[in-house]
Every structure is written in structure tokens, then in C-alpha cells.
Chains A and B, each alone.
Chain A
């Protein structure tokens, strides 16, 4: 099946710093989503981005489908950005379910 690898596994930042999270996937996809899981366990949709670039405030994401990777950029990080960031994909051949990476754990300190 498709492999989803996220890097780095852990990231520690000072408030105000910028960061880039990466997601590599091993096959073509019809869906790619980025999520933030907050300390209470909620999965928050950040981006639906099977290809192209999107921005939402301090966050932006780019997916290069032909090269099978996606990047999530966080600028001017805040303590509320702490949590786990997941990349999830749905493979073209299998269709439906999201396959999740293991996540990047981000800790932002003031």
C-alpha cells in the first residue's frame, strides 16, 4: 500500500519562528489533507490540497503531486500552534480512505 512519511518527527520552536513540515507519499493520490491535532485530541482541518498552493493566515501549503510531496509552512509561530500535525492521503487506486502519516509533533514555547 501507499507509504506516507512525515518529517521531522519532532520540532521545538521559540514563539515567532518559522517552520516547514514535509510529507512524502509513494503513489499518486486523489486527496491530500493536512490536520492539526490539538492537545485535547481534536483533529482540525488545515488544508485540502491534492495539488497546488493554498494560504490561510500564517499557514500555507504546497503539494507537488508529480514529485509526490507536500509542504506545510507555519510562519510567526505561536504557542497555540503546538500539537501534532498530520498529513493524510487517499491513493488514486484505492480511492476512499485517508492514510495518515505518523505526524510531526510541534512544541512552541514563549
Chain B
């Protein structure tokens, strides 16, 4: 158990819908990362927050957004869902924003039908 929690574990929804994925980092970690794992793209970085502020952006679509709240939990919002958004979404956390080990949560498996 990495100490990072994600909910829900599984999510099945229809095209065009909007979903919210939730992540709670390890106790004491200030930085949260979101990654997407799909069959065709592999594991890729979406976005990072550090202590409530956006720190870095990767290959995140405009239909996706995220935020980190004062209690440090983070939410990833996916809207206007398409079939290609079906993937495993991981949250990770680390103590500081750069050069520290990242710990991954169990992931949320999203299926868009």
C-alpha cells in the first residue's frame, strides 16, 4: 500500500458525459501528479500540482481539468468523454515538486461506452 488513495476504482460511463476522479496523497506529500495509461499511448503525464498551485502540464486535453484543494486532495475532471478516453488514470504524490520519489495510487479504470 503506497498510502495514495484513489476513488472510484472503476467507472463506466457513456460518451459525452463528465466524470470526476479523486485522489488523496500520502500524508505529508504536497505534490500531486496525474497520469493516464492507455493501450495506444502507454503511461503519460497529464498534470502536476504543488501545494494547491499548478506546477507542470503534460499531454492534457482541453476537455480535462484538475485542481488541488487546501486539504491537498486533488480531483481530475474529464468532460465530453470520448471512447478514446477509456484508460487507467493514476494519481501519484511526492514530498516536493522535483527530484523526489513518486508514489502511485491504485488507479481508476475508466470505461467510456
B42 within 8 A of A: yes
Residues of B contacting A88 in the complex (Cβ-Cβ under 8 angstroms): 43
Q: How large is the interface on B (under 10, 10 to 19, 20 to 34, 35 or more residues)?
A: 20 to 34
Chain A interface residue bracket vs B: 20 to 34
The answer to whether B101 touches A98 (Cβ under 8 A) is no
Chain A residues closer than 8 Å to B106, beta-carbon distance: 41-42
| A43–B101 touching, CB < 8 Å | no
Task: Say whether A43 contacts B99, CB under 8 Å.
Answer: no
Q: Which residue from chain A places its CB closest to the CB of B98 in the assembled complex?
A: A95
A80 interface residue per 8 A CB criterion: no
Q: Which of B75-100 contact A (CB under 8 A)?
A: 88, 90, 92, 97-100
Instruction: State the B residues within 8 Å of A (CB).
Output: 2, 31, 33, 35, 42-45, 48, 55-56, 58, 88, 90, 92, 97-104, 106-107, 109
